[in-house]
A and B are shown apart, each in its own frame.
Chain A
């Protein structure tokens, strides 16, 4: 990968990190409060089902994660496993797509 592309990859990771900072803060707060008195499916789905707000929120969350995680994994693979090059980049891109698909499925499951 060229320095040009690597710089933009780094920027994308930092930009998605900024978005995730907000998403994770909200998610942590939600979890900490939601788990009081035990977590039930009824509680969870009662909050998310049919809510446009939560749908939008979790959709942004999933997209940001699908960008952020693979770029980080690419760096770890290169530095700790010595895995570099087209195949490694391709594998990380596939992980991103997998997270997007699984995440979208999860969002749909609790929204619809």
Chain B
């Protein structure tokens, strides 16, 4: 049966972004911790690793990760607001749009600083 055509509304996309970003971040985090722990072997080891991250594909992934982190943050703030502060029907879509916009802004700010070398 047609199970997917009922999912077109904004709050549903917001949920999907939030869940998928959470999953992606949970998978990324151990790698992040291991990478930072390179410093245990001295500054040179960490520097060697950081040099690898300057590859374009890695930098693009970093921008994506920043977006996912910012999106998970803004989406989470929206949820905390809806759950603990209150509900106003008129502002629901505005909240989602604001959360999405703020996340894109963060990712773009990061990308801009990244390429401005």
**A, B assembled together:** yes
Given known contacts A39-B50, A98-B30, A106-B33, A32 and B110 CB-to-CB distance under 8 angstroms? yes
Given known contacts A24-B69, A32-B113, A38-B117, A72 and B106 CB-to-CB distance under 8 angstroms? no
In this complex, how many residues of chain B approach chain A with their Cβ under 8 Å: the count is 39
Task: State whether B39 touches A45 (Cβ < 8 A).
Answer: yes
Shortest distance from the beta carbon of B38 to any chain A beta carbon, whole Å: 7
- Smallest Cβ-Cβ distance to B53: which chain A residue: A39
The verdict on A41 contacting chain B, using a C-beta distance below 8 Å, is yes
Contacting residues, chain A, for B38 (C-beta < 8 A): 109
- How far, in whole Å, are A44 and B49 apart by their CA atoms in the complex? 13
In this complex, how many residues of chain A approach chain B with their Cβ under 8 Å: the count is 37
- How far, in whole Å, are A38 and B47 apart by their CA atoms in the complex? 12
- How far, in whole Å, are A99 and B61 apart by their CA atoms in the complex? 22
- How far, in whole Å, are A85 and B81 apart by their CA atoms in the complex? 31
Given known contacts A28-B106, A32-B106, A69 and B29 CB-to-CB distance under 8 angstroms? yes
Task: State whether A28 touches B69 (Cβ < 8 A).
Answer: yes
* Choice from A17, A20, A24, A35 contacting B113 with Cβ under 8 Å: A35
* Choice from B29, B37, B50 contacting A41 with Cβ under 8 Å: B50
The verdict on B76 contacting chain A, using a C-beta distance below 8 Å, is yes
Task: State whether B110 touches A35 (Cβ < 8 A).
Answer: yes
Task: State whether A17 touches B76 (Cβ < 8 A).
Answer: yes
Task: State whether B109 touches A32 (Cβ < 8 A).
Answer: yes
The verdict on A21 contacting chain B, using a C-beta distance below 8 Å, is yes
* Choice from A31, A44, A95, A109 contacting B40 with Cβ under 8 Å: A109
The verdict on B66 contacting chain A, using a C-beta distance below 8 Å, is yes
Shortest distance from the beta carbon of B101 to any chain A beta carbon, whole Å: 15
Shortest distance from the beta carbon of B115 to any chain A beta carbon, whole Å: 10
Shortest distance from the beta carbon of A68 to any chain B beta carbon, whole Å: 9
Q: Which 8 A-B pairs have the closest CB atoms?
A: A41-B47, A106-B36, A102-B33, A41-B46, A109-B39, A106-B33, A109-B40, A109-B37
Residues on B lying within 8 angstroms of A by beta carbon are 19, 22-23, 25-26, 29-30, 32-34, 36-40, 43-44, 46-47, 50, 53-54, 66, 69-70, 72-73, 76-77, 80, 83-84, 106, 109-110, 113-114, 116-117
